[in-house]
Structure 1
Amino acid sequence: MHDLRRQALESGKTVSRKARSKQASAASSRASSRANSAANSRVPSRAASRQASDEEDGNLSDGTAWSTNSIDDVLASDDVDSPSDVWRTELGDRMEQIIDRKRSSNQGREESLRAYVHLLTAHYAKEDIENKIGELVPAILKSVKSETSEKETASALKALAITVITEPSEDIYEMALHQLKRTISDSESMLAKTAAIHALGTVTFYGGTSVEETQEIMDFFLEIVESDGHSIGAGDEVDVVTASIEEWGFLATQIEDMEDATEPAMEAFVEQLDSSDATVQIAAGENIALLYEKSYTELEEDEDPPSDVEDIDEEESISGPKMVKRYNVYRQEWQLKHTLEELAKVSSRTISKKDKKTLHSNFRDILNSVENPTRGPRYQKAVDKETGRHYGSRMTFRIHHGGEMKIDRWWKLHRLQGLRRILQGGFIVHYEHNEVILDSLPYGLPII
């Protein structure tokens, strides 16, 4: 299984220019009631923008955080700190209820799936579920396929995502692929489409897929973006388009050579910068920054430096490996920079004060990385008097026991955001105990 993990890790309404021219049975025990109450708290299908205040999250510094809404209260409830035999017994009961569909009602399955998601988020339960995967996943997929209710379907899709993060298996990808794509394309529920897109991104990332399979899923997401959601019957739906952009970026962090995929992707994401929705614009901008970052790689030991000095990042090379530009990212870069500059200082009265602040903060970062692709998010140009060098990226993610991780590359931010979309308030629990998460964001991991 460790080899499988390594294989995976190494390798509203949005209106764009194109679119302008065209929404319980009672618990049987105190422990069950507690889990149901917690599980029924509202958990959004995607994380909020990364600009929320520090007070909302407490994990990211430099004014950079996510709002986790009710999930942090859920994870602070007394069942999280209860003896392991209590929550393990509850988890075992919930798994049996999910598997034994003949004796369950729609409402009962929805409650069991919600409780299952809650328990796997709050605890690292690999040993508890690994022998049940063969029964659990087919049962979860039946809830996705039947679409008896929107809530049951969405809960099942979240259950699938947290399951593969807890116990990665290429079998899950093979079992789930057809149904996930079918839900994305055919479901009439925008909530189900959005949850299925996030689930497909997670299953692809952690399912031991090949580079070719990953690229096929990225192409599928890109088609949704290019059509503003129309290709799957979700025309101009903000959540659907945003989810497709986010999951494309999440998967792109696994691909070492993005040169061939860059041109069509840039066209799609630049187009989305004209969206009327700030979340779409920011997601597209962050993917643009990622693509620029990937256009630079380390100079190989047996490789001669390029003759054009502009193709070498001299500042980055002073304290680290020599970073070399490999290809041009976008033909109309001057026009792109102009668009990013406008978004970094947008002042339209039709945009809320909160969205303006969010756009200004994000697009200053994105523009800086387009101009200097080896500079990550929250890069500060101020000079340290002691070293004489720029302070560099000041974004850090605080973890328990006084530790912190520096988020100095866009690929790190994409992975952190992707994991937080699924794990939300349980991220720290999994970061400390789940090898899969540590492999995704280890200390000192080289640039991909």
Structure 2
Amino acid sequence: MHDLRKQALLESGKTVSRKARSKETTPPTSRNISRGNSAVPSPRGSRVGSRQGSDDEGDFSDDTEWSTNSIDALVAPGELDGDGAGDAWIADLEDRINAITDRKRSSTEGREQQMSAFIAALTRHFAREELRPKVEELLPALLKCVKSGQSEREIILALKALAMILITEPSETIYDAVEGPIKTTINDSEHPAAKVAAIHALSIATFYGGASLDETQEVMDFYLDIASTDGAVIDEADNGNIVVAALEEWGFLATQLDDVEDLTEAAMDTFVDQLESSDVGVQIAAGDNIALLYEKSYTEAESDDEPEDADEEDEGGNRMVKRYTVYRQTHQLQQILERLAKASSKRISKKDRKHLHLEFNDILGTIEKPTRGPRYSTALDIEGRELGSRMKINIAGGGKMTIDKWWKLHRLNGLKRLLQSGFMVHYEFNQTVFDSLPVIVEDD
């Protein structure tokens, strides 16, 4: 960010070559976006240990730190404490939907309360069957709150509610209805926090709402413009939260694309530039996207690929072929990453410094060897093999999820930004969420 930089000194698979498509890509989740084949999702019983439906997500934990804006701060405490016994939440959800769609006698505070409880219910329960017949009624009511909300909180909650509807009931057509109002909020809202919420909501609408390949790339270009101008293009110059949101969602959408070669040069210029920000969140979001782009520049070797010196093996032992050069000034980039991996400035808090070191050691490792994912360890096991990716996410009921690719980390972070404490409920019961991150859970 211009002023901030003065203070301081992104399986979808693998990127697919133009010659042919790789055998392994991410699962289809949006129309007209060309993807390849990812591992077929395992049956639900084999992914997350079955458990009684519970509102207590205390069993979910992980050993990484993420910077995510929680919706919990917007939801009244009583609305997160429980939805009543048994299936009482279903009747309560129906009441909330009816209240949202009937605006005749509603007040700003009342709309906020109803949307807050609606979001809490959709977060804590997989409610596709209950929601499906009500979507057509809900959309215009929520869009009216987005376009003419009387408070910052009302606008943010309406955007969050739209995103929760789409993760619960994906659509082939909703993107066309919501894209305009959400973009208008990003460009024109007087509330910076609403712009941040709209950036995140637009990404979910693009991913799960039926955006075409061209529309997806247009949204990514929009995010890149926001990041490259430090937010100035939407009248939020040097707003770190805005830039972080744009960078995060650019990476989330990039995981959908098979081939990002044509997007890489402009994106890398922006991301490398943002490594000089004084905002740690901006630096990390830019670095994570850089690692994703290096990862996507390699694809699995095909039968007619001649062996090359640049070939690598991934953790599964597959030969990976470099398809193109991500950044021509790699040595300069490595120097920047090494500096960030060892940053010791007193202006950075101890917690941020630790986070910075952890993230940029990972990112640097991927730049040096693009087939290595986050938290890759070169330490040897008793059989003399490298330990590999050590990012293990503990799953409620036992077992661990291994995040061994940057695309998986971007998907996980994007889903957790949206679902927060409801991530495990949706990962267990919502096929859309599992298809977005089809990671087999290992037993302890």
Question: Please, what TM-score do these two structures have when normalized by structure 2?
Answer: 0.84
| Alignment correspondent of 2:86 | 83
Partner of 2:8: none
The aligned residue for residue 148 of structure 1 is: 150
3-state SS of paired residue (2:173) = helix
Aligned counterpart, 1:373: 370
Aligned partner of 1:229 among 228, 231, 254:
231
SS at match of 1:274: coil
Q: How many residues align?
A: 393
Tell me which amino acid in the other structure corresponds to 2:205: V
Q: Secondary structure in 1 aligned to 2:355?
A: helix
CA shift at 1:81, angstroms? 6.4
Q: Mapping of 1:419-438 within 5 angstroms?
A: 419-438=415-434
Distance change (3 Å), C-alpha of 1:100 and 1:70: closer
Q: What letter corresponds to residue 406 of structure 2 in structure 1?
A: W
The superposition leaves residues 46-68 of structure 1 with CA deviations (integer Å, 9 ceiling, x where unpaired) of xxxxxxxxx9985224x556788
Q: Would the alpha carbon gap of residues 245 and 67 (structure 1) be closer, same or farther in structure 2, given more than 3 Å must change?
A: closer
SS in 2 for 1:92: helix
Q: Is structure 2 residue 291 aligned with structure 1 residue 289?
A: yes
Give the superposition deviation at 1:4.
7.6
- Of 361, 385, 389, the residue aligned with 2:385 is 389
- Determine the structure 2 residue equivalent to 1:350: 347
Q: Mark the CA change 1:280 to 1:68 in structure 2 (over 3 Å): closer, same or farther.
A: closer
Report if aligned partners of 1:8, 1:207 keep a CA contact under 8 Å in 2.
no
When residues 350 and 64 of structure 1 are mapped into structure 2, their CA distance, relative to the original with a 3 A threshold, is: closer
Contact 1:75 1:426 in 2 (8 A): no
The yes-or-no answer on 1:338 pairing with 2:315 is no
Q: CA deviation at 1:439?
A: 0.3
> Does 1:442 pair with 2:433?
no
> Counterpart of 2:311 in structure 1: which amino acid?
I
Whole-Å separation in 2 of the counterparts to 1:5 and 1:255: 11
Q: Evaluate the alpha carbon distance shift between residue 245 and residue 87 of structure 1 in structure 2; reply closer, same or farther with a 3 A threshold.
A: same
Letter of the aligned partner of 1:337 in structure 2?
A: Q
Q: Which residue of 2 aligns with 1:246?
A: 248
Q: CA deviation at 1:7?
A: 4.2
Q: Map Cα deviations across residues 94-126 of structure 1 (whole Å, 9 max, x no partner).
A: 111111111211110011111111110000000
Displacement of 1:208? 2.3
Contact 1:56 1:65 in 2 (8 A): no
SS of 2:174's equivalent in the other structure is helix
The CA RMSD measured in Å over matched residues stands at: 2.5
Residue 320 (structure 2) aligned to one of 323, 326, 329: 323
Give the direction of change, closer, same or farther, for the CA distance of 1:356–1:272 in structure 2 (3 Å limit).
same
CA deviations on 1:369-416 (whole Å, 9 max, x unpaired) are 111111000000101122x21100011122233232210000000000
Equivalence for 1:275? 277
User: What is the aligned-residue identity percentage?
Assistant: 53
Aligned pair in 2 of structure 1 residues 257, 9: CA closer, same or farther (>3 Å)?
Answer: closer
Trace 1:257-272 onto structure 2 (pairs within 5 A). 257-272=259-274
Q: Which amino acid aligns with 1:312?
A: D
Name the SS for the 2:343 alignment partner.
coil
Q: Quick check: 1:250–1:415 contact (8 Å CA) kept in 2?
A: yes
2:215 matches 1:217: no
2:102 corresponds in structure 1 to 100
Please give the alpha-carbon distance, in whole angstroms, between the structure 1 residues aligned to 2:151 and 2:81. 30
Structure 2 contact 401–440 (Cα < 8 Å) conserved: no
| CA-to-aligned-CA distance 1:154-182 (integer Å, 9 cap, x gap) | 11011011110000012221110000111
After superposition, give the CA deviation of every residue in 1:132-156 in whole Å (9 maximum; x if it has no partner).
1111011101000003110100110
Q: Tell me how far apart the structure 2 counterparts of residues 288 and 391 of structure 1 sit (CA, whole Å).
A: 24
**Equivalence map 1:2-41=2 (5 Å):** 5=29, 7=31, 11=35
**Are residues 56 and 265 of structure 1, via their aligned partners in 2, closer, same or farther at CA, if it must alter by over 3 Å?**
farther
| Structure 1: unaligned runs, 5 residues or longer | 12-37, 39-54
Please state whether the residue corresponding to 2:62 is helix, strand or coil: coil
Q: Partner residue of 1:116?
A: 118
Alignment of 1:416 onto 2:412: yes
- Unaligned runs of 5+ residues in structure 2 are 1-26, 36-54
CA change 1:76–1:134 in 2 (3 A) is closer
Q: Which residue of 2 aligns with 1:17?
A: none
User: Residue 191 of structure 2 corresponds to which residue in structure 1?
Assistant: 189
Higher RCO, 1 vs 2 (CA within 8 Å, ≥6 residues apart): 2
Q: What displacement does 1:69 show?
A: 6.7
Given that 2:30 and 2:207 are in contact with CA atoms closer than 8 Å, whether structure 1 keeps it comes out as: no
Cα offset, 1:443, TM superposition:
2.8
Cα gap change, 1:411 to 1:141, in 2 (>3 Å): same
With over 3 angstroms needed to count, the CA separation of the structure-2 counterparts of 1:193 and 1:78, relative to structure 1, is: closer
Shift of 1:288: 0.4
Which one of the candidate residues 160, 181, 206 is aligned to 1:158? 160
3-state SS, counterpart of residue 235 of structure 1: coil
The CA distance in 1 between the partners of 2:59 and 2:192, in whole Å, is 27
Q: Is the CA contact (8 Å cut-off) linking 1:291 and 1:329 kept in structure 2? A: yes
| Secondary structure, counterpart of 1:380 in structure 2 | strand
Question: What CA distance in whole angstroms lies between the structure 2 residues aligned with 1:79 and 1:224?
Answer: 39
**TM-score (normalizing by structure 1):** 0.83
Among 170, 173, 186, the alignment partner of 1:171 is 173
